[in-house]
Structure 1
Amino acid sequence: MMLRIEAPLLPVAIALIVGIVIGEWIKAPIVVFAAMAGILIITLFLRYHPRWQTTTILICVTLFGCIIRQYQENNMKVWWPEYPAEWQAVVIDEPIEKTKTMTVDVLLANCRQKVRCHIAKSNDSQEISVGDGLILTTHIHEIRNKTSNLHHSTTRQDSNKIASDHLKQQNHSKNQNHSTFDYQRFMASRGFTGEAYVRPFDWDWGIVDISHLSRIERLRLRFMTYRSILLKHIQEWKLDKATEGVIKAMTLGDRSDLSPTVKTTYTQAGASHILALSGMHLTIIFFIINLLMNWRKAELISQAIIVTTLWAYALLVGLSPSVTRSAFMISVYALLSVGYRDSAPINTLSFTAIVMLIINPLALYDVSFQLSYVAVCAILLGNSFFKKVIPIEWLMNHRIVKWIWGITLVSLAAQIGTAPLVAYHFGVFNPCALLANFFLIPLATLTIILTILALTTIWFPWLSDLFVMALSFVVKTMNHLLQLVTEIPYSHLNFEPFSVVLTLFIYILMGFAFILYIKYLKMHCIIK
């Protein structure tokens, strides 16, 4: 058995990541740029020494990572007025209802900055939805980690109380996950540059001119408006809150209606990834569309339609890092399949990471970005070296065993690969996650298919109602089975979150163990 990993872009992606990380401490862009220019000149004289030339190229990529990190941070530094000002804003995401406020993400038409607003809860604020224009008269401040550093106008006692209550609740939930959670960096990775607390009489509805926004921003806003319409259709199905929340999260990426009980159940069962749109969801949709568009004589047209549909869905759910990565990879795979070329999955994964990090270097600190890439990398490596340990000829004659082995391999690879990262961010380990995935994957596939059928047949109420009934049964079954998993002793282990050093050390050990295992397989002639 001949196994090779062709990934010349993998070292480039790693060098870029290292550069972005060390760019946090190197604050001399001119010096870094001069150093990169000097090393590039040296590289030109090393063409007869390929190893040294490769080393200098990777050093240049690392320095380039430092530069784009600093450039991104400088672009996100906004000097907000010290006093309340009037802002024209458009709502860009579904508002989230809190105890005393409505968390509303807006894009300011005046300066094209993303701001998170905490609007005092009222009958009017609870009616805010995606695409609405708002006129805000408030003080926007820089996003900071500590409540003591947040500064508001001294005359705004009510607004300060709302801010204090919200941040106490926010910091409490953050501390439960990780004592060193960097809220400022998290918001920066999502593109937010400011935060505001708005009293009931400091905002009003308004018609906002969005012609100054870029085409991509207007297109994304339009698709988010479409998503809001679909979410309202799902609400009209009159399902129980737990079922409705899971359907919205799994199909449209709206987690605002997930109850704490449902979140806890999925987290303890090691199934929280099902509630966050990722490559698995997009892959399911890809195979559904591929079956419908399998035109052998017009493969180029069918693949173009598939790729366009996938990116439309990615826009519909908000272009999260994991969805964007998956759409990017599937697009490359589809285009290469037209030319009958090898997709080189590790190389494609590295390419998507490089492109996404160049566009937004701070996306590296997004937890979904980290988990998405680590999980896919672990799955690809696992499939490359372990899927053929059991002879394929034997598996082809035992289809049930093949299906079990496939799910086991993917689930185990993803769980092992992401375990240190999950322990670092959340301080939790789920030994029973592998068991849960055996029924989660088929049930999640059914959930996505039935939701699509129910939404596309709304003009035939009797047929749509039939799909909704089946959908409700599937989701309730999934919730019940996960609840049973959480009742298994030691199904979830909570502990103090890992440090950065310990996390890196574990990944280094895993790398060495992987290399030793490959050498063992070669020694016994299992692979070449």
Structure 2
Amino acid sequence: MKNNGVFALYPFVPVAVSFVSGLVAGDISFPFVALSVWIAAACLSFLLCLLSVRHPVAQSLFIVLLFFMFGGVCMMIAKQKPRVSLSDEKSVYESVVASEPVERGKTLRFEAIITSGRLTGKKIVISLMKDTVERRYSALSVNVGFVFASRLKLPANYSGSRFDYAAYLERNGVDATAFVYYRDWCPAPVDMGGLSVFQRARLAFLKYRHSLISAYRELGLDGQTFAVAAAMTLGHKSELSADIRDAYSVTGVSHVLALSGMHLGIIYMLLTLLSLRRGPSLLREILIITAVWSYVFMVGMPVSVVRAATMITVYSIVGLSGRERMSVNVLAFTAMLMLTVNPLIIYDVGFQLSFVSLAGILVLCPFASRFVSSEFRMSHPVATGVWQIVVVSFVAQLATAPLVAFYFGRLPLVSLFANIIAVPALTLILYLSVVMIFSFFIPSVSGLFAFLLSIVVSSLNHVLVFLSSLPFASVEGISLTVPQVCAVYVFIISLLAVIKILFKKSFTDRLF
């Protein structure tokens, strides 16, 4: 087979698309087709790949078919994972708090890990009734042990809700839920020796994050300034008000509140600059990747951050080999790697949005950059920076618009302008936070940077609240079906292909 076209430029893309299609097919066929059938089909596909070695076209098709079957096998294995066997009676459990407790009305909600007995290592979500008189619940924080009595239940959906809460908990590794009456628990030292090294390390990092959150408060950050700063830098979003969440959502910049690839990319760039060296270096890359993954552990390992850290790791490895670091191939490989480990995250909204937006940026931004000559970029760095932010924001918004409309019923119209403000502000907030954290031992310095941080965050909040109040800020009440979303993407891709063909020979006359 002649090596040209999309298969030559992006060899991992058709394989990844086939693998994802197999995951979806495996999910659909789960109640009707046995795992053994998928395994047999995968083995047959592999055999056909070996037998067709002298026929490149046929072998390529069989390789694509093999990854389709492999995707089906992975999904079937994930769906057949046995659920935890729970007792119907009320029992006593030793456990440790594994997330920041969040107050919701009369209850305190948090994740916990059971530390003893048959269910050692299992993660549960606890809703604990607050004792408003003694306020014993205020002593609960990450890595604090306690004993409780309750009847554990398997994750279930709320009646009348369209959100698949049970599937959400399953994707995040939650095995059960429990409601605990305020008299049925007490703090107590627990032995965490039965937990895995991974779980204990994660708890240690989360405890360190808790201390940083407390330090933010001690430095004078409060209200929604504290809430936004903690969300952007530490992934602590529980104290964001509904008004602030809505303002960021309406203006299309919710991604700056949720830790994502943008945050980790900025941190990676900062670490690279601080290394004071240029060119690939194995030791430097190992230290940087270690720091990046430490940060991922500290913020609780949300899917979007794990995806970004995985991409950065692959990016570093590819860079050391002297090849192109950031490409659609790297993105496709990262997606396959993450979905092989946990196929169920294919339905995670953050996973879908992050990969679609980054795919759009990698494919379209190089095309858009050709409208600006290299001479203009060299002589006008500020204008070029603004142009790049505009292009990246527009491309990301275009790529994710159908998904945003499908999941949230809203299409932000001021997103392009809001991102021109929010992205540089996010960069400044992260840099100020890093300096503030590393200068805690010098109160006057950390206090100064905390003051500057509060000014930036407060200003950003006010600007976004103002933009969200404009009558044309967003289109609301959109309702799309899955086929309609697919049709919109087909239209967008077709339109872009036509534009690329029409303008292919016109780059001699640049816009700038």
What band does the TM-score fall into relative to the shorter chain? Answer: over 0.9
- How far did 1:76 drift? 5.0
- How far did 1:512 drift? 1.5
Measured on the aligned residues, the alpha-carbon RMSD in Å equals: 2.0
Given candidates 469, 473, 477, the residue that maps to 1:495 is 477
Given candidates 119, 127, 136, the residue that maps to 1:124 is 136
Equivalent positions of 1:9-48 (< 5 A) are 9-27=12-30, 28-48=34-54
Answering whether residue 107 of structure 2 is matched by residue 101 of structure 1, we say yes
Deviations 1:145-165 (A, max 9, x none): 244xxxxxxxxxxxxxxxxxx
Answering whether residue 443 of structure 2 is matched by residue 461 of structure 1, we say yes
Q: Number of aligned pairs?
A: 495
**Superposed structure 1 runs of 4+ greater than 4 Å apart:** 523-527
SS of the aligned residue for 2:236 comes to coil
Equivalent positions of 1:198-213 (< 5 A) are 198-213=180-195
Whole-Å separation in 2 of the counterparts to 1:327 and 1:100: 37
Whole-Å separation in 2 of the counterparts to 1:493 and 1:289: 39
Name the residue aligned to 2:368.
386
Given candidates 410, 413, 417, the residue that maps to 1:431 is 413
TM-score, with structure 1 as normaliser: 0.90
Contact between 2:26 and 2:73, CA under 8 Å: does it hold in 1? Answer: yes
SS of the aligned residue for 1:80 comes to coil
Given candidates 3, 11, 14, the residue that maps to 1:8 is 11
Percent identical: 32
Deviations 1:237-290 (A, max 9, x none): 233311000010000001011111111111111111110001111111111111
Moved more, 388-397 or 291-300: 291-300
In structure 2, relative to structure 1, the CA distance for the partners of 1:419 and 1:526 (3 Å cut) is: farther
SS of the aligned residue for 1:140 comes to coil
Name the residue aligned to 1:255.
237
In structure 2, relative to structure 1, the CA distance for the partners of 1:337 and 1:63 (3 Å cut) is: closer
Contact between 1:116 and 1:192, CA under 8 Å: does it hold in 2? Answer: yes
TM-score, with structure 2 as normaliser: 0.92
Contact between 1:102 and 1:126, CA under 8 Å: does it hold in 2? Answer: no
- AA aligned to 2:484 is L
Whole-Å separation in 1 of the counterparts to 2:37 and 2:443: 66
- How far did 1:444 drift? 1.0
Whole-Å separation in 2 of the counterparts to 1:374 and 1:190: 21
- How far did 1:297 drift? 8.6
Deviations 1:388-437 (A, max 9, x none): 12222223222232112101110001000011111111101101010011
Question: Does 1 or 2 have the higher relative contact order (CA < 8 Å, sep 6+)?
Answer: 1
Contact between 2:219 and 2:446, CA under 8 Å: does it hold in 1? Answer: no
Moved more, 70-79 or 400-409: 70-79
- AA aligned to 1:137 is A
Answering whether residue 342 of structure 2 is matched by residue 330 of structure 1, we say no
Answering whether residue 245 of structure 2 is matched by residue 245 of structure 1, we say no
Given candidates 346, 355, 358, the residue that maps to 1:376 is 358
- AA aligned to 2:315 is Y
Contact between 2:268 and 2:292, CA under 8 Å: does it hold in 1? Answer: yes
- How far did 1:526 drift? 6.5
SS of the aligned residue for 2:9 comes to coil
Name the residue aligned to 1:81.
87
- How far did 1:208 drift? 2.4
Contact between 1:96 and 1:104, CA under 8 Å: does it hold in 2? Answer: yes
Whole-Å separation in 2 of the counterparts to 1:14 and 1:332: 19
Name the residue aligned to 1:401.
383
In structure 2, relative to structure 1, the CA distance for the partners of 1:12 and 1:111 (3 Å cut) is: farther
Moved more, 123-132 or 73-82: 73-82
- How far did 1:298 drift? 8.4
SS of the aligned residue for 1:23 comes to helix
Whole-Å separation in 2 of the counterparts to 1:297 and 1:403: 23
Contact between 2:244 and 2:465, CA under 8 Å: does it hold in 1? Answer: no
